[in-house]
Chains A and B, each alone.
Chain A
């Protein structure tokens, strides 16, 4: 009896020790991985504050010997970044909002509604992701030209307002929501519109936020399309502005690094804000099957 009790009281400690060890190892691995993820970002920040002759050294420096703020100030003013931030901001917000709305509707239809040709139509949507964009550049430019949208916000925004990728993402997530939640509403006679906006969307906040972050990121980072449809510097975006410090064969590295830093900030802010609303899981108390 005593032996059993003794063994019983030892076993939890042993398991506890194992659990702690596992936790320590996984935290260590996680930390190691995280540092790895940050290396280029940290280098970029360090380089933006260093004097020119310290940027390229072997081995690379991550902690500057002197801190120079002038690069940030110069990079901001030498090239019209305020204008570029405005353009990129407008483009990114409109596209994010547009994709969220159009994709939520289409995704719900594909995930939950029955109608003829549903799967075939969805595959058609997917197919649009499979054509390499480079060959579409010229004809898409021709469309913009015909609409007389060259060098305008419309050219930057409208083609991006819908995205098959966003539809796909949200459809998959909607598929994962337990059907019982909607069935109750259906029986009550709710319209698909109400079901979508009052039941599905609130339950899908993590996916919707994710999709929003991705849409924001993609439009913030867009390069080739804005380059082709904008013919004057006043319509350029931040990514194009970044390239203005690179001549054909030489580069002003300190400005490039400083600009790269402040260009990345908005996306990080959006991601961080989004994270706050990320971990609300689905509380499913009181469901009867």
Chain B
């Protein structure tokens, strides 16, 4: 072994370490050199040619880590992405006039991970003060016995919880009758459509929109063209499990659109008893779904990604949360419209599940101030402002019926169908078994779509499995 090779390698080692240090230093310098006084970038320009109706989220300066100057800091966890976090931050800033002793740290976690993070925090005894969750998580959170009952605080603040839509409160009210969460924003799911493609197919959704499933099948058929690689209707790309048993969510809407319950009532409260979807309306609902995929072939099993915004889908099953981004992504390619999703009969059109984000407080040292805060946060004015700026629907009946919101809807007609249908929304099995049941049912629904099983058999199997899951988890239907 000659000395040259050792020296050569020693030199290369030194050079490598130097390179590493330089590389590292440059990263650190780059990181430190960006000062917070960087000028705010221009607001995103609304896409030319799009209807002036959608609220355009206006990005301003760097997302602040802490809001307010008070000495007592409250930790708030949420999953509002940048576009919705901005309006929320603006609202929270106003709380300084109500209680200047507080400051807020809003920490974002992606929606797909927030529940796991909460679960870990509960197990490790490190929970935040306030948390925003998807409404379907609320029964699970209540079950943890770590969240705060709010009834006394409602009384103290003379807060009228019944102003909120009942379908949303079905999640927030525990089995003991007490309320553990407050709805911040909501949504439901209806039908986007591509005005250009609809016109090209000789249809007019403004004068005579499809109102029944038969109408929809016909329209979807006319809008499908394999030569143009165009699909009539997109019902969602999720297969079996999706994010939360997506197929079961879809089946629920269609069952309500057929006028039937999905789960029976229990103790006077809807949608949490024994399975009811394998009889009455639930069966033709899924049969329709299978047929439009396999017989009419107007719905692809796997829709093209972003098929609607690229202009290759006539209609898209979607909610108001998607409107701002959809408009931006469509740009000037075409104009979109929104109609109520058809029902089995015309009067049942628009029935849908309710979605949304709710706020809860964890028991702990700051529970009193936190409870007061979320009561303030969900006041009618804040609910209205947030909904308008973030692309959601207000959770309060008084707001939806109010004049200012009606005026806003006239300027933003794409949201009208969603607001109008809030009277027709239903809760999705609002129990701690939400994921268990929707995923199990979805597995069977998928078999029906792939024609491995008849619709009735699949639904019966799903009902049986629902029963055994409830039994196994000690839940009395």
Direct contact of A and B (CB under 8 A): yes
Q: Which of B41, B319, B332 has the most CB of A within 10 A?
A: B41
Interface residues of A in 218-249 (CB under 8 A from B): 224, 227-228, 231-234, 243-249
A58/B310 in contact, CB under 8 A: yes
Instruction: Mark out the residues of chain A between 194 and 219 whose CB falls within 8 Å of any chain B CB in the assembled complex.
Output: 198, 201-203, 205, 209, 212
Decide: B120 and A86 in contact? CB cutoff 8 A: no
Does A89 have its Cβ within 8 Å of any Cβ on chain B? yes
A223 to chain B, nearest CB (A): 9
Q: CB within 8 A of A76: which of B12, B34, B331?
A: B34
Other-chain residue from B1, B82, B125, B328 in contact with A245 (beta carbon distance below 8 A): B82
Q: A141-B120, A273-B23 are known contacts. Are A248 and B126 too (CB-CB below 8 A)? A: no
Q: Is the CB of A89 within 8 A of B28?
A: yes
Known: A145-B125, A227-B109. A250 touches B12 (CB 8 A): no
A55 pairs with B329, CB closer than 8 A: yes
Partner of B32, one of A86, A137, A232, A250: A86
The distance from the CB of B225 to the nearest CB of chain A, in whole angstroms, is 14
Q: How large is the interface on A (under 10, 10 to 19, 20 to 34, 35 or more residues)?
A: 35 or more
- Contact call A51/B83, Cβ cutoff below 8 A: no
Across the interface, do B8 and A280 meet the contact criterion of CB distance under 8 Å?
yes
Q: Which chain A residue shows the least CB distance to B119?
A: A138
Identify B82's interface contact among A52, A86, A142, A244, CB under 8 A: A244
Contact present for A250 and B120 (CB under 8 Å) = no
Within 8 A of A (CB), among B223-280: 229
On whether the beta carbons of A232 and B2 are closer than 8 Å, the reply is no
Q: Which of these, B5, B34, B63, B331, contacts A52 with CB under 8 Å?
A: B331
**Does A125 lie at the interface of the complex (its beta carbon under 8 Å from any beta carbon of B)?**
no
Give which listed residue, B13, B42, B123, contacts A138 with CB less than 8 A. B123
Count of chain B residues near A, Cβ 8 A: 81
Asked whether, in the complex, the Cβ of A58 is within 8 Å of the Cβ of B312, the reply is yes
Q: Are B123 and A252 in contact (CB under 8 A)?
A: no
Task: In the complex, identify which listed stretch (B73-81, B207-215, B285-293, B440-448) lies at the interface while the others stay far away.
Answer: B73-81
Residues in B whose Cβ lies below 8 Å from that of A137: 116, 120
Q: Are A246 and B6 in contact (CB under 8 A)?
A: no
How far, in Å, is A68 (CB) from chain B's closest CB? 10
B380 interface residue (CB < 8 Å to A): no
* A181 partner residues in chain B, CB cutoff 8 A: 1
Docked pose: A253 CA to B28 CA in angstroms: 27
- Does B381 sit within 8 A of A, measured CB to CB? no
Cβ-based interface call for A152 (8 A): no
Q: Name the B residues within 8 Å of A228 (CB-CB).
A: 116-117, 120
B123 and A82 contact, CB distance less than 8 A: no
CB neighbours of B61 from chain A (8 A) = 77
Known contacts: A56-B329, A202-B10, A280-B12. The answer to whether A286 contacts B79 by CB under 8 A is no
Q: In the complex, which of the residues A184, A250, A277 contacts B83, with contact meaning CB atoms closer than 8 Å? A: A250
Select B42's contact among A70, A76, A250, A255, beta carbons within 8 Å. A70
List residues of chain B with CB within 8 A of the CB of A286. Answer: 1-2
Within residues 405 to 451 of chain B, which ones have a CB less than 8 A from any CB in chain A? Answer: none
Chain A: minimal CB distance from B302 (Å): 14
- Tally of A-B residue pairs with Cβ under 8 A? 200
Q: Which residues of B contact A273 (CB under 8 A)?
A: 19-20, 23
Residues of A within 8 A of B70 (CB): none
The answer, yes or no, to whether A285 is at the interface (CB within 8 Å) is: yes
Within the complex, what minimum Cβ distance (angstroms) separates B20 from chain A? 8
Contacts of B27 in A (CB 8 A): 85, 89, 266
Contact status A80-B117, CB under 8 Å: no
Partner of A249, one of B16, B117, B319, B332: B319
Check if A82 sits within 8 Å of B34, measured CB to CB: yes
Whole-angstrom distance between the Cβ of B359 and the nearest chain A Cβ? 14
Q: Please provide the chain A residues from 149 to 179 with a CB less than 8 Å away from any CB of chain B in the complex.
A: 150
A2 within 8 A of B: no
Against A, the Cβ 8 Å flags (1 = close, 0 = not) of B291-316 are 00000000000001110011010000
- A141 near B124 with CB under 8 A, answer yes
Q: With an 8 A cutoff between CB atoms, is A62 at the interface?
A: no
Say whether B319 contacts A52, CB under 8 Å. no
* Contact indicator B82/A73 (Cβ below 8 Å): no
Please tell me if the beta carbons of A80 and B63 are within 8 angstroms of each other in the complex: yes
Question: For the complex, is B59 an interface residue (Cβ under 8 Å from A)?
Answer: yes
Q: Is the CB of B321 within 8 A of A205?
A: no
Q: Write out the residue numbers on chain B whose beta carbons fall within 8 Å of the beta carbon of A102.
A: none
Q: Which residues of A contact B305 (CB under 8 A)?
A: 56
A188 within 8 A of B: no
Which chain B residue has the least Cβ–Cβ distance from A82?
Answer: B34
The verdict on A284 contacting chain B, using a C-beta distance below 8 Å, is yes
Rounded to whole angstroms, the CA-CA distance of A249 and B107 in the bound complex is 18
Instruction: Please tell me if A264 contacts chain B, counting CB pairs below 8 Å.
Output: no
Enumerate 16 A-B pairs (CB-CB under 8 Å) in ascending A order: A51-B331, A80-B63, A80-B65, A82-B33, A89-B24, A89-B31, A141-B126, A144-B124, A228-B116, A228-B117, A248-B134, A273-B23, A277-B15, A282-B5, A283-B8, A287-B1
